[in-house]
A = this chain, B = another copy of it.
Amino acid sequence: MSDLLERLRGRGWRMTAQRRVVAEVLDGDHVHLTADEVHARAVTKLPEISRATVYNTLGELVTIGEVLEVSTDKRAKRYDPNAHQPHHHLVCGQCGAIRDVHPVGNPLADLPDTERFGFTVSDVEMTYRGVCPNCAKA
């Protein structure tokens, strides 16, 4: 996520310790943290960072399209730094583990005109549900 910092600088963002830490926390693959999880991890690197700043920064990252909001569970929103490669999600119903997945085919094409009710359809979000290998063992 080092180039995320570059892109933010390019957009005229002030580079603060708080924003750097949030960007660091969001680094990696299959990362789908809630705002409070981001805050908890950020605090270990920058103890005085506030909840409001984490919420603000995540909101801004979503607005400019650098981070996606996903709602795979019905509780808190999750923040996904993998915004530049379209993908869907596979969720374990027991432990909540989330993996990025890439189904084949074009699901948009699978919605017939007769099922569109006059809508202009632009996007589709797919959430696969199942049980992860870890939970299956137990």
A residues adjacent to B (C-beta < 8 A):
69, 71, 74, 77, 90, 92, 99, 101-105, 107-108, 110-112, 115-133, 136
Contact = CB atoms under 8 A, between A and B. Distances in A.
A126 B124 contact: yes
Given A74-B77, A124-B126, A126-B124, A119 B105 contact: no
Contacts of A128: 108, 111, 119, 121, 123-124
Interface majority SS (helix, strand, loop, mixed), chain A: mixed
A82 to B, nearest CB: 14
A87 to B, nearest CB: 10
A115 B132 contact: no
B127 A125 contact: yes
Nearest to A103: B110
Given A92-B119, A99-B119, 10 more contacts: A90-B115, A101-B111, A104-B110, A105-B110, A107-B126, A118-B132, A120-B130, A122-B130, A124-B126, A124-B128
